[in-house]
Amino acid sequence: MKQTKNNEILKIEKLKKYFNVGKDKKGPIYVRAVDGVDLNIKDGETLGLVGESGSGKSTIAYTVVGMYRPTSGQIMFKGKNIGIEASRRALSLKKEIQIVFQDPGSSLNPRQTIEQILTLPFRIHTQTPKRQFRKKMVELLEKVELSPDYLYKSPPSIGGGEKQMVAIARAMALNPSLIILDEPTSALDVSVQAKIINKLIDLQKEMNLTYLFITHDLSLMRNVADRIAIMYLGKICEVAESATFFEKPIHPYTQMLISSVPVVTKEEENLKPKKVISTGEIPSPVNIPPGCSFHPRCLYKMPICSKIDPEMIEFSPGHIVRCHLFAKLENKK
pLDDT tens for each residue of 298-312? 988 899 999 999 999
| pLDDT score for 191 | 81
pLDDT of residue 5 exceeding 60: no
Whether the Cβ atoms of residue 217 and residue 186 lie closer than 8 Å to each other = yes
- Residues 237 and 229: their CA atoms lie apart, in Å, by 7
Alpha carbon 22 to chain centroid distance?
A: 28
Tallying the residues shown for the chain, one arrives at 333
The CATH number of the structural domain formed by 8-243 is 3.40.50.300
| pLDDT score for 52 | 87
Q: What is the pLDDT of residues 68-84, one digit of tens each?
A: 999 999 999 998 888 87
Helix (H), strand (E), coil (C) string for 259-271: HCCCCCCHHHHHH
- Residues 328 and 223: their CA atoms lie apart, in Å, by 33
pLDDT of residue 278 exceeding 80: no
Q: What is the pLDDT of residues 13-67, one digit of tens each?
A: 999 999 998 888 888 899 999 999 999 999 999 999 998 888 999 999 999 998 8
| Mean residue pLDDT across the chain | 87
Confidence class for position 217, pLDDT limits 50, 70, 90: confident
Whether the Cβ atoms of residue 158 and residue 152 lie closer than 8 Å to each other = no
| pLDDT score for 87 | 58
- Residues 208 and 201: their CA atoms lie apart, in Å, by 10
- Residues 35 and 22: their CA atoms lie apart, in Å, by 19
β-bridge mates for residue 322, sequence order: 312
Alpha carbon 81 to chain centroid distance?
A: 20
Cβ-proximal residues to 96 (8 Å cutoff; 6+ apart), any chain: 77, 78, 176, 177, 178
DSSP letter, residue 284:
P
Alpha carbon 188 to chain centroid distance?
A: 18
Whether the Cβ atoms of residue 105 and residue 155 lie closer than 8 Å to each other = yes
Helix (H) or strand (E) holding 49: strand 46-50
CA distances from 19 to 62, 182, 211, 328 (A): 13, 20, 26, 34
| pLDDT score for 267 | 61
3-state secondary structure of 246: helix
Confidence class for position 187, pLDDT limits 50, 70, 90: confident
CA angle 139, 78, 173 (to 5 degrees): 15
Helix (H), strand (E), coil (C) string for 141-183: HHHCCCCHHHHHCCHHHCCHHHHHHHHHHHHHCCCCCEEEEEC
More confident residue, 188 or 231: 231
- Residues 65 and 92: their CA atoms lie apart, in Å, by 12
Of the candidates 64, 74, 76, 59, the residue with the CA atom closest to the CA atom of residue 8: 76
Tell me the CA end-to-end span of the chain in Å, nearest whole number: 32
Alpha carbon 75 to chain centroid distance?
A: 15
